[in-house]
């Protein structure tokens, strides 16, 4: 995994994005602290799905019936529309 400071990353953005397209992650740092991770979008979606599945397993183990990811997104969109209308 490559690591660049913000200053180093600016002129290399194209290369960093192409690395992400090739499923290679890049860390961007600011004052020696990791602040961003550039990752392939489909890899990110896979990670989100894995996290959601693990959360569902944990919730079921705790006796809670979780809602699905798509249902949660729908409810959040509805709440945002409602809040914007107020």
Residues 6+ apart with CB under 8 A from 67: 75
pLDDT, mean of residues 52-59: 86
| pLDDT class of 70 with cuts at 50, 70, 90 | confident
Structure confidence at residue 40 (pLDDT): 97
- Who wins on pLDDT, 49 or 8? 8
Structure confidence at residue 71 (pLDDT): 87
CB atoms under 10 Å from CB of 40, counted, come to 16
Domains of the chain: 2-39 (3.40.1620.10), 42-85 (no CATH)
**Cα gap 50→78, rounded to integer Å:** 25
DSSP alpha helix (H) spans, the chain: 6-9, 13-21, 41-61, 69-85
- Who wins on pLDDT, 58 or 14? 14
């Amino acid at each position: 995994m490559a690591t660049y400071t913000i200053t180093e990353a600016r002129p290399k953005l194209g290369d960093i994005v192409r690395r992400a397209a090739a499923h290679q992650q890049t860390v961007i740092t600011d004052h020696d602290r990791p602040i961003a991770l550039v990752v392939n979008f489909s890899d990110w979606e896979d990670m989100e799905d894995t996290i959601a599945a693990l959360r569902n397993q944990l919730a079921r183990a705790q006796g809670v019936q979780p809602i699905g990811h798509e249902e949660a997104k729908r409810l959040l969109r509805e709440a945002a529309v409602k809040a914007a209308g107020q």
